[in-house]
Amino acid sequence: MKYELVAGFETHVELQTKTKIFCSCTTAFGGDPNTHCCPVCIGLPGTLPKLNEKVVEYAIMAGLATDCEIAGIAKMDRKNYCYPDLPKAYQISQYDKPLCEHGHITLSNGRQIRILRIHIEEDAGKLIHNHGDTFVDYNRGGVPLIEIVTEPDFRSVDEAKEYVERLQQIMRYIGVSDCRMQEGSMRCDVNISVRPEGSEKLGTRTEIKNMNSITNIAKAMEYEYERQVDLIESGGAVVQETLRYDDATNTTSSMRSKEDAHDYRYFREPDLVTIAVPRERVEEIRQSLPELPAQKFKRYTEEFEIPEKDAEKLTKYRAIAEYFDEAAKDLKAPKTAANFILGQIFRRLETEADKEAFLVKTSAAQLNEMCKMLESGKLKNNLAKTALEKMLDSGDPVTKFVSESDMAGLDDNTLTEYCQNAINAMPNAVADYKGGKEKALMALLGNVMKQSRGRADAGAVKEKLKELIG
């Protein structure tokens, strides 16, 4: 019997506010243990929380960017459970009246992953286990989170990976989070079950907690799918439980039985007032959102005729997309700017972090100027490439590296002279070309380009070489 994977995600995203959700403590990553906290963070008696308005704004931005409906009225609730990283013995979260509901993210295969809800809550502290001892660091306690909960719409590991990548990309674009999974600012809980292919009935689910890398999410889902299938086919039954994933052994193991909502004994948070969200404010926030990755991708492929693979690279990080938009402004062929970015500039950016930051000395306006000179015929492609390398080294404009004589190109007599020089200097290449090796012509072309310092037109050089060789 074939089994279908069914999965849903609960993704916690740390918001990039300067202060915590209910107090004025910093949200900065790192710091000595228990130095970024106060009586409110650690739940001392007599302290009262005050909701950070920026947290509500960021959650609305996330909701709008994922096509959610924004609630006019929302409230905060207490989620009761006792754990050492939660000093109050409850977490302030949202239960039945979240800020955002009923959104979606569309995957490349056209399927929509439905978002059930996005709500705000406080993060817990961090437990450090060391040689049998457990230490608690409350620096992270009270850092604002949004929890993005999907319907059980995933049917493959590849869909899950793409969803996390797209969600991460959207949150970075709108500026609510850096989503650095390695630092814990984006963490996923994966609910997974299996069922016979064709069945509409959901199987018993398990939850894999606190996944902080896309690679590990994929490995954990593959393992858990196989484990559940093996268990069912051997006559056993899947138990609803919470699991942890061990990347060293590529296995999951039980942490505790899986809780349902009623186990937390939710009730309204008595120390915080109702959240009222005026429609006018929602529209203001909507208008402040940047063009989103999917919108840019569509514009680049349809209007600019950029190949899909190139458009994916250009839209992956907001800094690159904005640089490209300015560099391509008013160009007849925006792909000219795209080729320079994806070629010469990308070669200088070794890591994904480098590409995300996209700190290059050549401004988008300078690249745009060079591309316009290329389109007008003032500049030849090889000379443009040479000039761009110097521009990227120095930050100076193209005009510093290209003279009037460079832009004048070559007259026919000079072109003929350079081509003849190449033929005389490279008899072996000439013989290879005559013998049917087309690539040998490129060696001769390179020689001419070197003589002309990139001023010659490559097409004209090829035709002249063919004419002279006969």
**Alpha-carbon Rg for the chain in angstroms:** 29
Rounded to the nearest 5°, which phi and psi values hold at 190? -110, 120
Average pLDDT over every residue of 313-319: 96
CA atoms within 13 A on the CB side of 19: 13
Q: What is the pLDDT of residues 259-304, one digit of tens each?
A: 676 788 999 999 999 999 999 999 999 999 999 999 999 999 999 9
Residue 452: pLDDT band by 50, 70, 90 thresholds?
confident
Q: What is the band of 448 on the pLDDT scale with cuts at 50, 70, 90?
A: confident
Q: What are phi and psi of 455, to 5 degrees?
A: -80, -25
Report CA-CA distances (Å) from 233 to 195, 202, 402: 11, 17, 72
Average pLDDT, whole number, for the chain? 92
Round to whole Å and give the CA distance between 264 and 182.
29
Q: Give the C-alpha separation, 339 to 328, whole Å.
A: 11
Helix (H, G, I), strand (E, B) or coil at 90: strand
pLDDT at 406: 63
Cβ proximity of 388 and 344 under 8 Å: yes
Lowest mean pLDDT among 179-183, 353-357, 399-403: 399-403
Q: Half-sphere exposure of 420 toward its Cβ, with a 13 Å CA cutoff? A: 6
pTM, whole model, 2 decimals?
0.85
Calculate what percentage of the chain has a pLDDT beyond 90.
74
Note the pLDDT of residue 459. Answer: 79
Residue 405: predicted pLDDT: 57
C-alpha span between 93 and 264 (Å, rounded): 11
How many C-beta atoms surround the C-beta of residue 453 within 10 A?
13
When pLDDT is cut at 50, 70 and 90, the band that residue 409 belongs to is low
User: What percent of the chain has pLDDT above 70?
Assistant: 98
Q: What is the pLDDT of residues 126-163, one digit of tens each?
A: 999 888 899 999 999 999 999 999 999 999 999 999 99
The residue among 63 and 452 whose pLDDT is bigger is 63
pLDDT of residue 69: 98
Is the pLDDT confidence value at 335 over 80? yes
Residue 39's CB: how many other CB atoms inside 10 A?
A: 11
**Segment 212-248, tens digit of pLDDT:** 999 999 999 999 999 999 999 999 999 999 999 999 9
Domains and CATH numbers, the chain: 3-284 (no CATH), 291-408 (no CATH), 412-469 (1.10.10.410)
pLDDT above 60 for 408: no
pLDDT (0 to 100) of residue 407 = 62
User: In the chain, what is the straight-line distance between the N-terminal and C-terminal CA atoms, in Å?
Assistant: 69
Nearest CA-CA partner of 145 in 295, 7, 324, 12 = 12
Mean pLDDT to the nearest integer, 430-453:
85
Q: Indicate whether 456 pLDDT > 80.
A: no
| pLDDT at 326 > cutoff 90 | yes
> For residue 241, what is the enclosing H or E element?
strand 241-246
Cα(77)–Cα(291) distance, integer angstroms: 34
Query: Can you tell me the distance from the alpha carbon of 207 to that of 257, in angstroms, rounded to the nearest whole number?
Result: 10
| Biggest distance spanned by C-alpha atoms of the chain | 95
Work out the pLDDT band at 455, boundaries 50, 70, 90. confident
Sign of CA pseudo-dihedral 186, 94, 174, 163 = positive
% helix / strand / coil in the chain, to the nearest 5?
A: 40, 20, 40
pLDDT at 418 (0 to 100): 87
Question: Is the pLDDT reported for residue 168 higher than 90?
Answer: yes
User: Per-residue pLDDT averaged across 448-469, rounded?
Assistant: 82
